[in-house]
Amino acid sequence: MARVRQAVIPVAGLGTRFLPATKVVPKELLPIVDKPTLQYVVEEAFASGIEHVVLIQGRGKSAIEDHFDTSYELEDTLDKRGKSAEAEMLRKISRLGQISSVRQKVALGLGHAVLSAKAVIRDEPFAVLLGDDLYRTAPDKRPGIGQLMDAFAETGLGQVALMTVPKDEIHKYGAAEGASEGPHRFRISALVEKPPKGTEKTDKAVVGRYVLPPDIWAILEATKPGKGGEIQLTDALDVLRERQGLMGVIVDGRRVDAGDKLGFLEANLLEALGRPELKDGTVALMRQLIAEAERA
Ligand code: UTP
């Protein structure tokens, strides 16, 4: 079975939930403490064994490309000012791995964004990581997408990341019906994009990581616009499931949706609490803010 070597990261959405911040800056470049969201996602891909990342770009393309490119003048200035640790940190970003980009000219939906990578990825299985979705995993665990790559190596079937959510929140997600096959494996029997409230049949939500066989290209090409007039990846995945089966991986880790306002705040607080130099200050600040909010 072909190994998963390449990853597609769509970053061409309009980011309407973060306007006006995303008027000029793509939401995937908004920082979680001091590092752009997208850098965490790209690092997760390379740490999982991906060799080539394909970014699906829309507006703000040059800022994203510049972030992962060498910045000779800045590095040189930092070196001259004795800030060699900072200069080295920047050099490491440009050496993370091979990154290419493809343009999605119009944001017609996630399915359409993934399809834009067809000519680059071609005839091999590939990973998809959403550029605003973060997975925090323990240091001794495989990163989020790595867990899906392992599951694909076991079965050869397409894999989607799943998260258990309260049933009354499933209407916000792609919903996966099916049955558990062990603590982290789930056989999917139906996929529904954002099921209307009251129709929910599952508490398993599809979240931001996928490993897909190349058969998905023909399916995406035939997928008509669905919910919201967008070409939905979920609709194409349901056809893939019907034709060859589809598995879910309940990822061992914590997923945070940094493309949502509260999720973005959560991601920042979690990252700050995970850094020794910021932990105590963050806890003190949170305590103070909670006390103030309760008095108000
Ligand atoms: P989202 O739905 O979270 O992104 O898509 P969005 O459309 O930018 O968000 P809002 O709702 O307007 O705030 C998940 C990921 O897929 C990308 C987005 O950039 C994001 O990383 N995406 C979405 C595309 O690349 N192209 C699209 O047409 C849609």
Q: What is the pLDDT along the chain (296 residues), one digit of tens a residue?
A: 789 999 999 999 999 999 999 999 999 999 999 999 999 999 999 999 999 999 999 877 789 999 999 999 999 999 999 999 999 999 999 999 999 999 998 989 999 999 999 999 999 999 999 999 999 999 999 999 999 999 999 999 999 999 999 988 999 999 999 999 988 999 999 998 889 998 889 999 999 999 999 999 999 999 999 888 999 999 999 999 999 999 999 999 999 999 999 999 999 999 999 999 999 999 999 999 999 999 98
Question: What are the structural domain ranges in the chain?
Answer: 6-259, 260-296
Largest CA distance in the chain: 63
- C-alpha 132 to ligand 1 mean position (Å): 8
The DSSP-derived string for 58-93 is: BTBHHHHHHHTS--HHHHHHHHHTT-HHHHHHHHHH
Strand partners, 226: none
How far is ligand 1, taken at its centre, from the CA of residue 259, in Å? 8
Which atom of ligand 1 is nearest the CA belonging to 259?
3
Q: Ligand 1 mean position to 233 CA, how many Å?
A: 12
Residue with tokens 């005839």: 123
Gyration radius (Cα) of the chain, Å: 20
6-259 has CATH 3.90.550.10 classification: yes
Burial label for 262, CB within 10 Å (0-12, 13-18, 19+), is exposed
pLDDT in tens, 159-211: 999 999 998 899 999 999 999 998 899 999 999 888 999 888 999 999 999 99
* Ligand 1: centre distance to CA 217 (Å): 19
Q: Please, which residues bridge with residue 249 across strands?
A: 161, 185
| Model pTM score | 0.96
- What CA–CA distance (Å, rounded) separates 284 from 267? 18
The two counts, helices (H) then strands (E), for the chain are: 11, 13
Is the CB of 207 within 6 Å of ligand 1? no
In the block, residue with structure tokens 């959405």: 13
Where do we find the tokens 């306002």? 261
Neighbours of 281 (CB within 10 A): 11
Q: Which residue's alpha carbon is nearest to atom 18 within ligand 1?
A: 13
